[in-house]
């Protein structure tokens, strides 16, 4: 079935053409690069995996409760509108909410694949080209994984959200080589990492937990890559150049914050204008979604500070968003946690499979003896 057949609202076009600016840079300097970057490149090579083999696609998923979590996470839960809905409509709310969220993950991963390919073209140093090439493969695998999950397990998809689309457009159409790093590695990947982490930690379902944990293991390296490259480069920029990057970050963060409302995921209910306004108000006032939104900036804010974009103006913007306190998060600790969780998940799965094999062998021996 075509993905277009799964879209609950029409996608404008089958393809989206973005006019990219900038220059493809070759380098004839093949000497050893930065030790930290080359170590990250080696890790990127060592950690490649096959989604058809590492993920257990035989696991069942209830499309009407994809994550297996409480309805209290739904913005309109226990409101007059919620009580007005039939049980089937509530099931549809759960389905469309999960479909919308994972669809944006999918579109973001394709955007990351294209941005990392652009980094290979435009970044001037070879060690960064090497790592970005491994990231391009990572992002292709992530897009493949989310597409299969939506097609085979959820059965419903949404087109790209206008706010995510706007940020990708700004990132890809900028001629400066560092902007794909800033837009993708810091903003989009940082927010995605945090969203994946929240959902990984609250889901009770093994298949989405596997997908989110394994994708996060890769994405943690990608954010580290952006930090390394931009921290070195931004040390030498003028105040004017730094202010331009800060303007981009502030605008991008507001776009990412607004993306979280998911307004289009409610269209299937055919709400009246007043009911739609009630949904948006409930979304703004939901304690769970406020916490979720705050946590989503737990990767972005400390990363922006780490790369050297930390003027009083930028700090005020984060204070206005209510996320300034996230600057104290340790990115290295979060990255290690992401890697450890994926490794422990593998260990548990393989131990269980090994136990099952031993049981099968014992049963076979028992049958032979009898």
Question: 215: which residues sit within 8 A by CB, 6+ positions away?
Answer: 142, 145, 196
Q: Residue range 168-184: average pLDDT?
A: 89
pLDDT the model gives residue 68: 95
Phi, psi of 108 (to 5 degrees): -65, -35
pLDDT the model gives residue 349: 84
pLDDT the model gives residue 258: 67
**91 part of a folded domain:** yes
Q: Residue range 194-199: average pLDDT?
A: 90
Q: Residue range 207-223: average pLDDT?
A: 93
Q: H-type helices in 235-330, by residue range?
A: 239-259, 273-285, 287-296, 300-306, 312-321
Burial 204-225 (b: 16+ CB within 10 A, else e): ebebbbbbbbbbbbbbbbbbbb
The confidence band for 93, taking pLDDT boundaries of 50, 70 and 90, is: very high
pLDDT the model gives residue 192: 86
Is pLDDT at 96 greater than 60 in this prediction?
Answer: yes
* Residue with the two structure tokens 């204070």: 319
**276 part of a folded domain:** yes
Q: Residue range 335-348: average pLDDT?
A: 91
pLDDT the model gives residue 228: 87
**342 part of a folded domain:** no
Is pLDDT at 362 greater than 70 in this prediction?
Answer: no
Q: Please, are residues 152 and 63 in contact by the beta-carbon 8 Å criterion?
A: no
The confidence band for 67, taking pLDDT boundaries of 50, 70 and 90, is: very high
Is pLDDT at 358 greater than 60 in this prediction?
Answer: no
CATH number at residue 278: 1.10.620.20
d(Cα 151, Cα 132) in Å, to the nearest integer? Answer: 28
pLDDT the model gives residue 355: 61
pLDDT the model gives residue 361: 55
Domain that holds residue 230: 3-16+33-336
Q: Residue range 66-95: average pLDDT?
A: 92
Is pLDDT at 351 greater than 90 in this prediction?
Answer: no
If one counts the domains in the chain, the total is 1
d(Cα 166, Cα 11) in Å, to the nearest integer? Answer: 15
**300 part of a folded domain:** yes
pLDDT the model gives residue 368: 60
When mean pLDDT is compared across 6-20, 163-177, 214-228, 241-255, the lowest value belongs to 6-20
Q: Of all residues in the chain, what percent carry a pLDDT higher than 70?
A: 90
pLDDT tens per residue across span 253-296: 888 776 667 778 888 888 888 888 888 888 878 887 777 777 77
**48 part of a folded domain:** yes
**366 part of a folded domain:** no
pLDDT the model gives residue 363: 56
Mean pLDDT of the chain: 87
Q: What is the pTM of this model?
A: 0.87
pLDDT the model gives residue 237: 94
**370 part of a folded domain:** no
**344 part of a folded domain:** no
The confidence band for 366, taking pLDDT boundaries of 50, 70 and 90, is: low
């Amino acid at each position: 079935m075509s993905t277009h057949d799964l879209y609950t609202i029409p996608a404008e076009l089958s393809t989206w053409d973005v006019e990219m600016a900038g220059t493809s840079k070759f380098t004839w300097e093949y000497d050893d690069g930065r030790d930290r970057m080359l170590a990250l490149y080696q890790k990127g090579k060592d950690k490649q995996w096959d989604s058809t083999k590492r993920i257990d696609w035989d696991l069942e998923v209830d499309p009407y409760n994809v994550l297996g979590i409480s309805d209290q996470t739904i913005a309109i839960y226990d409101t007059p509108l919620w009580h007005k809905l039939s049980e089937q409509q509530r099931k549809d709310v759960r389905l469309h909410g999960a479909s919308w969220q994972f669809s944006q993950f999918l579109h973001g991963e394709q955007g990351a694949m294209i941005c990392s390919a652009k980094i290979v073209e435009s970044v001037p140093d070879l060690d960064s080209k090497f790592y970005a090439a491994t990231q391009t493969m990572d992002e292709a695998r992530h897009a493949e994984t989310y597409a299969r999950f939506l097609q085979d397990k959820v059965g419903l998809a949404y087109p790209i959200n206008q706010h995510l689309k706007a940020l990708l457009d700004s990132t890809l159409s900028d001629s400066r080589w560092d902007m794909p790093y800033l837009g993708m590695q810091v903003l989009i990947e940082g927010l995605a990492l945090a969203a994946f982490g929240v959902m990984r930690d609250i889901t009770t379902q093994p298949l989405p937990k596997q997908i989110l944990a394994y994708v996060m293991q890769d994405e943690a390296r990608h954010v580290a890559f952006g930090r390394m490259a931009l921290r070195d480069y931004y040390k030498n920029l003028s105040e004017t150049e730094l202010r331009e990057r800060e303007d981009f970050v502030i605008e991008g963060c507001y776009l990412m914050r607004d993306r979280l409302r998911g307004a289009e995921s409610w269209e299937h209910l055919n709400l009246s204008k007043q009911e739609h306004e009630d949904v948006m108000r409930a979304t703004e006032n939901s304690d769970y979604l406020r916490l979720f939104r705050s946590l989503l900036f737990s990767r972005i804010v400390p990363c922006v500070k780490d790369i050297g974009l930390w003027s009083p103006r930028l700090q005020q913007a984060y204070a206005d968003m209510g996320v300034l306190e996230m600057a104290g998060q340790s990115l290295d600790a979060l990255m290690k946690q992401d890697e450890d969780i994926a490794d422990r998940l593998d260990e548990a799965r393989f131990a269980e499979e090994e136990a099952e094999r031993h049981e099968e062998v014992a049963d076979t021996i028992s049958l032979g003896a009898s």
